[in-house]
């Protein structure tokens, strides 16, 4: 008795059922009742159901092994890690805060870094903290300073002295690049990878998993130092609202942190003369699947226009970049690259975002190239 060839593309329940029913007459002539109530048909359909599920799980496992088809966030994180790409955590919006005095002073007024100000909105408060010290010179009434949206948190852990220690933080909305770590009285530095860390390098890594749990990771004593046993590990970070931190201009109106001069609390006012922009939620899987290969092709160096575009669009807070060189415009010199960037949330990039992006590009461009950053022009 001849046997029909097997179609290995039949993976769903109905295809498997039809395939098996078609093969029954080729195997035996004693099975003639194919009514749904027949015990043999019931068992056959059960096998088809199991086969459908097995085929699904096999296909799903295969799909999760490749970046374009992976759907689970943890698998995308792991695949991107293989090529040195790390998905962005939420990014804090940035703006400019303008502090004003009611009258001129005879001495300089220092507004310390991390001064907290807030915007009281209908759906809740949005807090900002200043990035650096600001000075209102004597005889003047105001000073501007960059600020980042978020609320500063601090957590403490105790080192066990073991290799590759990991400490999980309680917040799931930690602003990208805001984590600061102290072990005892010494400040440790964040490293993207431990491969270049010496045994005594005071480095740590920040890693977020598929459930948005952020962990602080220390070295193993070969690549990166191990915090001594019993030492207090203090972790500070900025808890951000992400895209909800992008608010309009002149909405920040209250100074939360009191500012003193010569023991007297100053009567200062504050506002944000420009909108806060650049805030974004955690990186989406679709964006990571496009951005990771683009940055890999650039080898994290800015040489071609595509390299500049890939690196700029991978920078936290940047939604889109447009790059022009001498081939696009006769007014651009051969040693110049002009780049316009649109921040997450729309609007214009803040001076803080432009400054940080310029520093990032400067470290990756060819030394003879001059990069000029411009605000975007939006078309209706």
Residue range 168-204, pLDDT digits in tens: 999 999 999 999 999 999 999 999 999 999 999 999 9
Is 369 within the bounds of a domain?
yes
Looking at residue 5, what is its pLDDT? 54
Long-range contacts of 70-73 (CB under 8 A, 24+ apart): 70/285, 70/289, 71/285, 72/210, 73/210, 73/285
Are both 164 and 107 inside the same structural domain? no
- Residue 158, token pair as written in the block: 């105790």
Quick one: 110 and 170 in the same domain? no
* pLDDT greater than 60 at residue 4: no
Domain that holds residue 328: 285-374
In a domain, residue 75? The reply is no
One domain for residues 255 and 129? yes
pLDDT at 3 over 60: no
70-82 per-residue burial string, b: 16 or more CB within 10 A, e: under 16: beebebbbebbee
Q: Out of 24-38, 202-216, 300-314, 339-353, which region has the weakest mean confidence (pLDDT)?
A: 24-38
C-alpha distances out from residue 239 to 42, 275, 307, Å: 57, 20, 31
Coil, helix or strand at residue 110: strand
Question: Quick check: is 279 in a domain?
Answer: no
Q: Which phi-psi region, left, alpha or beta, contains residue 317 (left: φ > 0; alpha: ψ -120 to 50)?
A: left
Query: Which of 29-33, 62-66, 106-110, 314-318 has the lowest average pLDDT?
Result: 29-33
Indicate the pLDDT class of residue 1, thresholds 50, 70 and 90.
very low
* Whether residue 370 sits in one domain with residue 290: yes
Residue 134 shares a structural domain with residue 261: yes
Mean pLDDT, to the nearest integer, of 161-166?
A: 96
For residue 380, pLDDT beyond 80:
no
Place of tokens 């207090």: 232
pTM of the model: 0.85
Whether 164 and 144 share a structural domain: no
Q: Is 299 exposed, middle or buried (0-12, 13-18, 19+ CB in 10 A)?
A: exposed
CA gyration radius, the chain:
29
Residue of 166, 178, 283, 156 whose CA lies nearest to 239: 178
Co-location of 124 and 260 in the same domain: yes
Domain count along the chain: 4
Question: Does residue 116 lie within any of the structural domains?
Answer: yes
237: left (phi > 0), else alpha (psi -120 to 50), else beta?
beta
Let me know whether 19 and 166 are in one domain. Answer: no
- State the alpha helices, DSSP H only, in the chain: 13-27, 39-63, 73-82, 285-298, 305-313, 351-362
**295 within some domain:** yes
Question: Quick one: 252 and 301 in the same domain?
Answer: no
Q: Which two tokens stand for residue 282?
A: 């955690």
Answer yes or no: is 133 within a domain. yes
pLDDT for 2 equals 47
Percent of residues, the chain, with pLDDT higher than 70: 98
In a domain, 380, yes or no: no
* Distance separating alpha carbons of residues 254 and 121, to the nearest angstrom: 12
Q: Residues 6 or more apart from 247 whose CB is under 8 A from it? A: 93, 119, 121, 126, 272, 275, 276
What CATH number should be reported for the domain holding residue 367?
3.30.300
CA 125 to chain centre: 23
Q: Check if the beta carbon of residue 161 is closer than 8 Å to that of residue 167.
A: no
pLDDT of the residue at 379: 84
Q: What integer is the mean pLDDT of 133-143?
A: 95
Are 370 and 252 members of one domain?
no
Confidence (pLDDT) at 302: 94
The answer to whether residue 83 sits within a structural domain is no
Q: Are 165 and 37 part of one and the same domain?
A: no
pLDDT in tens, 76-131: 999 999 999 999 999 999 999 999 999 999 999 999 999 999 999 998 999 999 99
Q: Which of 192, 201, 193 is nearest to 226 (CA)?
A: 201
With 60 as the cut, is the pLDDT of residue 210 above it?
A: yes
Instruction: Tell me how far apart the alpha carbons of residues 133 and 112 are, in angstroms, rounded to a whole number.
Output: 4
Average pLDDT over residues 281-302: 94
Residues 368 and 292 in one domain: yes
* Residues facing 158 on adjacent strands: 232
Residue 246: per-residue pLDDT:
96
């Amino acid at each position: 008795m001849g046997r029909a060839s097997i179609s290995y593309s039949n993976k769903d329940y109905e295809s498997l059922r039809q395939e098996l029913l078609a093969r029954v007459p080729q195997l035996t002539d004693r099975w003639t009742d194919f009514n749904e109530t027949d015990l043999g048909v019931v068992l056959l359909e059960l096998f088809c159901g199991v086969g459908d599920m097995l085929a699904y799980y096999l296909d799903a496992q295969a799909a999760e092994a490749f970046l374009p088809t992976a759907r689970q966030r943890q698998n995308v994180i792991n695949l991107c890690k293989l090529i040195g790409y790390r998905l962005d955590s939420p990014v804090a919006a940035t703006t400019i805060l303008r502090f004003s005095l009611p009258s001129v002073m005879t001495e300089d007024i220092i507004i310390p870094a991390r001064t907290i100000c807030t915007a009281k909105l209908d759906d809740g408060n949005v807090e900002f903290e200043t990035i650096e010290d600001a000075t209102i010179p004597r005889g003047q009434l105001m000073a501007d300073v960059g600020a980042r949206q978020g609320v500063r948190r601090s957590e403490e852990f105790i080192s066990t002295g073991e290799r590759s220690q990991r400490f999980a933080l309680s917040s799931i909305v930690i602003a990208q690049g805001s984590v600061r770590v102290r072990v005892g009285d010494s400040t440790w530095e964040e490293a993207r990878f431990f491969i270049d860390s010496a045994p005594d390098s005071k480095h740590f890594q920040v890693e977020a998993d598929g459930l948005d749990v952020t962990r602080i990771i220390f070295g193993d004593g070969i690549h990166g130092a191990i915090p001594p046993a019993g030492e207090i590990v203090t972790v500070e970070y900025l808890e951000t609202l992400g895209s909800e931190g992008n608010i309009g201009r002149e909405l920040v109106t209250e100074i939360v942190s009191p500012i003193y001069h010569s023991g007297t609390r100053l009567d200062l006012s504050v506002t944000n003369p420009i909108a806060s922009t650049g805030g974004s939620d955690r990186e989406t899987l679709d964006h990571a699947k496009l951005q990771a290969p683009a940055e890999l092709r650039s080898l994290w160096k800015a040489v071609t226009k595509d390299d500049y575009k890939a690196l700029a669009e991978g920078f936290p807070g940047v939604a889109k970049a447009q790059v022009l060189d001498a081939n696009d415009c006769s007014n651009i010199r051969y040693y110049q690259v002009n780049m316009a960037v649109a921040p997450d949330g729309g609007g214009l990039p803040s001076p803080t975002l432009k400054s940080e992006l310029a520093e990032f590009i400067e470290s990756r461009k060819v030394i003879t190239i001059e990069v000029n950053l411009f605000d975007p022009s939006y078309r209706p």
